[in-house]
Amino acid sequence: MQRGTCKLCHQDAELQLSHLIGRAIYKLCRKDEGDDSIVMTAKVVMKTSRQIREYVLCTRCEDLFNKGGERYVTSLVWRLRQGFPLLDKLQIALPIQREPDYRVFSGERVGIDTDKLAYFALSVVWRSGIHEWRTIGNQTTSVVLAAEDEERIRKYLLGETELPANVGVAITVCTDMASQVLVQPPTLLGNAGGYLIYRLLVRGIDFNVLVATAPNIHFLDLCCVRSAGKKIFFKDNSRITLNSVRHFYEESKLARNVCPKPFLRGS
């Protein structure tokens, strides 16, 4: 432990070694993949036991994140031996909308606590926004969040406010294997005409955190907290996931201990 100011509650406290994507998710990956997980950065793809963790939060705030969403998300994601509990649940449920390439379910009707899914996604994107997380060597991963959004999300994460009015979270349960086996830290996908999209992928659940930069955008059709019935999308997301992986493999130096392009064969 190390003494310092907790980035969430701003109190002076003993700080924990906080994980960017949460300790519970990290433990799950370690259990499935052995001691070493594949880490992708802009410069290198390698197997490493290096964890993305640093002294950022106090014990109380770590616990808040764990109970607020991390533990719940960990119980729903794909895992090597137990399969994918959230996907299984949706496969036997009735969708509220059926389109050629996707379906939409009501989290409320299916009995999924989408508020906790949103809390988890925001806790990870916020962590990525407030700190440069060291990955391998002197490389770091982080996203840019506007100072006022960072502060609004911080208050929401502390339980002081509701979900900020200009923020939404869209959840997609992925039916493809490529999205189910991977964990990808938050990246800023870009500006979609009045709002920013931050993407985070955790073992088959694709979280899009949406932050409006123009007035009167409330994500009422997309957000798993504010949409009618609390929507959850369900689709094959392999195109998006494989594109993001392909970028890593093509741009990065491949370490010798990584099998070349494991997910790209035949694509």
Q: Applying CB under 5 A, does 56 fall inside the site for Zn ion?
A: no
Structure tokens at 218: 């409330």
Nearer to Zn ion, 57 or 112 (CB): 57
Q: Does 211 bind Zn ion (CB under 5 A)?
A: no
Distance between first and last Cα of the chain: 46
Q: How far is the CB of 106 from Zn ion (least distance, A)?
A: 35
Question: Closest Cα partner for 163 from 235, 222, 106, 205?
Answer: 222
The residue (of 7 and 235) whose beta carbon lies closer to Zn ion is 7
8 binds Zn ion (CB under 5 A): yes
Contact between 64 and Zn ion (CB under 5 A)? Answer: no
Q: How far is the CB of 122 from Zn ion (least distance, A)?
A: 16
Q: Does the footprint of Zn ion cover residue 61 (CB under 5 A)? A: yes
Nearer to Zn ion among residue 6 and residue 181 (C-beta):
6
Which residues sit opposite 70 in a β-bridge? none
Among 142, 147, 119, CA closest to 207: 119
Q: What is the arrangement of strands in the sheet containing 53-58, beginning at the earlier edge strand?
A: 2-5, 12-19, 53-58
Stretch that binds Zn ion, among 5-13, 97-105, 144-152, 219-227 (CB under 5 A): 5-13
- Residue number of the CB atom closest to Zn ion: 6
Structure tokens at 249: 């493999």
Task: Give the span between the Cα atoms of 2 and 205, in whole angstroms.
Answer: 33
Tell me the number of residues near Zn ion by CB under 5 A: 5
Question: Which region, judged by CB under 5 A, interacts with Zn ion, from 7-15, 45-53, 194-202, 256-264?
Answer: 7-15
Nearer CB in complex with Zn ion: 96/158: 158
Half-sphere CA count of 140, side-chain side, radius 13 A: 11
User: Which two tokens mark 154?
Assistant: 């911080």
Residues that bind Zn ion (CB under 5 A): 6, 8-9, 58, 61
